[in-house]
């Protein structure tokens, strides 16, 4: 890491105590690590809100016995093939499958793809994990 700069932060005691509890729970090494992470998180959210080029992972859980459901999930992914970096399928048990789709592209299109996959009738749960291409920070 180059050019580290130290700066002071003034906080109410209660807020700092709560923050110290939180960073202990989250296993941060020190306050600086925790603050850096929070700052980067804000920039990631900003990138997503601005419609920037980003990366993410969409997870969906569904019952593979519902055959048409699998077809719809595959059709939707083909529609967005230009943004899909990889997808991984795991058989959770006799009925349930977990599919994780790694995506890279404009945030608004990723959100649309995620919404479409999560809205497929029969999908039990879906989640979008947002992150960054890491170029800006
Ligand atoms: Ni499966």
What is the domain-level CATH number for residue 114? Answer: 3.30.70.1150
Distance of CA 80 to the CA centre of its chain: 18
CA of 67 to the centre of ligand 1 (A): 11
Number of domains in the chain: 2
Q: Range of 27's domain?
A: 13-49
Determine phi and psi for 39, rounding to 5 degrees: -65, -45
- Is the pTM above the cut of 0.75? yes
84-91, strands of its sheet edge to edge: 84-91, 96-106, 53-63, 123-131
CA of 71 to the centre of ligand 1 (A): 13
Instruction: With respect to residue 137, please indicate whether it lies within any of the assigned structural domains.
Output: no
CA of 131 to the centre of ligand 1 (A): 26
Same structural domain, 41 and 92: no
Cα–Cα distances in angstroms (integers) from residue 101 to residues 12, 14, 19, in the given order: 42, 41, 34
Same structural domain, 85 and 41: no
CA of 92 to the centre of ligand 1 (A): 7
Query: Which residues are found with C-beta within 5 Å of the ion, ligand 1?
Result: 64, 91, 97
Task: Summarize pLDDT for 27-67 with one digit per residue, the tens.
Answer: 999 999 999 999 999 999 999 999 999 999 999 999 998 87
- DSSP annotation of 121: T
The encoded tokens of residue 1 equal 């890491």
């Amino acid at each position: 890491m180059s050019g580290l700069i130290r700066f002071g932060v003034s906080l109410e005691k209660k807020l700092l105590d709560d923050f110290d509890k939180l960073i202990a729970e989250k296993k941060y090494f020190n306050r600086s690590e925790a603050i850096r992470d929070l700052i980067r998180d804000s920039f990631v959210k900003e990138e997503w809100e601005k419609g920037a080029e980003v990366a993410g992972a969409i997870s969906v859980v569904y019952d593979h016995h519902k055959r048409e459901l699998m077809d719809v999930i595959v059709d939707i992914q083909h529609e967005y093939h230009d943004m899909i970096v990889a997808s991984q399928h795991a058989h959770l048990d006799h009925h349930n499958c977990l599919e994780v789709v790694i995506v890279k592209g404009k945030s608004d299109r990723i959100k649309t793809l995620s919404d479409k996959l999560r809205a497929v009738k029969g999908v039990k749960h879906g989640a979008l994990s947002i992150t960054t291409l890491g170029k800006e920070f």
